[in-house]
Amino acid sequence: MLEEATAAFAPEHVVGEGGYGIVYRGVLADGCEVAVKNLLNNRGQAEREFKVEVEAIGRVRHKNLVRLLGYCAEGAHRILVYEYVDNGNLEQWLHGDVGPVSPLSWDTRMSIVLGTAKGITYLHEGLEPKVVHRDIKSSNILLDKRWNPKVSDFGLAKLLGSDSNYVTTRVMGTFGYVAPEYASTGMLNERSDVYSFGILIMEIISGRSPVDYARPPGEVNLVEWLKNMVSNRDYEAVLDPKLPEKPTSKALKKALLVALRCVDPDSQKRPKMGHVIHMLEVDDFPYREDRRTPRQCQGSPLDRARTYAKPVTESGDSSCYDGNTTTAASTPCRLHESLR
């Protein structure tokens, strides 16, 4: 049936490659469009990926996550069948040839950010055992014709039991999106996905890739460049020049603040994805704290945001990072003071 749906896996039906497999567009006998992922048998990796993906995505029922419709495991064949999302992926719309003006407005981009956050939150908090995606990136955010995002490719997903804070694993993921502590130690938990999501927000705001060696030396690394722009209060310079209109200063600063919190070098100070959704949805975040709490850490909005985003039963450390002697561009307290 799948061979017929994809014209015997014809090259002209290929819509993507990666994650140990090739993805084909297929049409079933009833006219239903599907995405057929044919996993490649590479030293057993494909089979392991298959088992993880089936176990993880088979339970998913969320509007911002790609749904697994079925699978095939016959002989050496490992095939997954997903719903077909018909408008490409976010990477194509951010970095592809879309002309001088992007069809992605600021509001559309923030809607994509929020929808993606909700999908990841479901993986972290709505499933048992919870799921860490491990490969959050723009090419894994599929879009429909109304720009609704769906997180795809659970081939690198790692299942965590409810009693596990982290697991140690062979580092997998995509260069530029991987959390530093995961890259250096292999210790994986939900905060690793939060870091990748922060990079994704920066990419959506700026239209820049996480790492781009075609840019001048000081602009190769997206995180460091954006931190430098924020420390210099040069906010509008970080915006994608293809944006059809500029956001308000308040909206831009909020998005930047959320992104910077997500990529905090200290993984324990990164918000959980549920807190990220709260920060994105609250209109006056982080400014409400200006009226409710005394100034902390020289009035850093990061610290007011940290208090605001957490339940009141949590104490939370709102101090500056101890012993940090790096430059202003990489000092979190100074960075977020710049966003006042």
Helices 190-206 and 273-281 cross at an angle (nearest 10°) of 30
Q: Which of 86, 97, 107, 135 is catalytic?
A: 135
- Which residue, of 83, 117, 135, is where some domain finishes? 83
pLDDT per residue over 85-121, tens digit each?
Answer: 989 999 999 999 999 999 999 999 999 999 999 999 9
Residue matched to tokens 């831009």: 252
Q: Does the active-site annotation cover 135?
A: yes
pTM for this structure? 0.80
Domain enclosing residue 67, as ranges: 2-83
Residue 249: give its domain's CATH number.
Answer: 1.10.510.10
Residue 54: give its domain's CATH number.
Answer: 3.30.200.20
CA angle 114, 100, 144 (to 5 degrees): 35
d(CA 177, CA 199): 6
d(CA 148, CA 141): 10
Check whether 310 is labelled as a binding-site residue: no
Query: Could you give the number of structural domains in the chain?
Result: 2
pLDDT per residue over 245-267, tens digit each?
Answer: 999 999 999 999 999 999 999 99
Is residue 74 located within the same domain as residue 98?
Answer: no
pLDDT per residue over 191-240, tens digit each?
Answer: 999 999 999 999 999 999 999 999 999 999 999 999 999 999 999 999 99
Q: Burial level of 79, CB count in 10 A (0-12/13-18/19+)?
A: buried
Is residue 164 located within the same domain as residue 17?
Answer: no
